[in-house]
Amino acid sequence: MRHSNSVKKLLISGKSTQLRRLTQFSSQLTELSALTQSCLPPLLQGHCQAINVRGKTLILQTESPAWASQLRFYMPAMLSTLTHHQCNYIKEIHIRIKPVSAQSPANTRHKMNISSQSAILITSLAETTPYSQLRQSLLRLASRESKKS
């Protein structure tokens, strides 16, 4: 609890200029994010976030190149809205793709096993099919039989 009181005192006192600048920048990004999202259709609104301002450039972030492509169509409208709301110091918008984390669950594959009975049925089906590619696929599937005792 002592630490949260210290942060609260810092925020109230306003003595920390770095903290004040950080909170002002955070508020600015929140406002810019809301303004840019107001130009977008509902489907795109959840996939775009203002993450930085560098000079006269607003940097937006999205999850994939597909969303970035869609957002580029709305860049003129976003710039117009920003100018209309006294954010005319923004002259450009850059869109950045959010990096995918290295430990994404989509990258890990778990080998799925099938029961012995299913493996026997699939093997017998593979032996009767005239199509070699289908036979090979079925035999690969049958090889996933769980080896439980």
Give residue 52's pLDDT. 92
Domain parsing of the chain, residue ranges: 2-100, 110-149
Q: How far apart are CA 54 and CA 78, in angstroms?
A: 17
Please, are residues 93 and 60 in contact by the beta-carbon 8 Å criterion?
Answer: yes
Which CATH architecture best describes the domain 2-100?
2-Layer Sandwich (3.30)
pLDDT band at 110 (very low <50, low <70, confident <90, very high): low
pLDDT tens for 41-66 read 888 888 899 999 999 999 999 999 99
Q: How far apart are CA 102 and CA 116, in angstroms?
A: 36
Give residue 21's pLDDT. 83
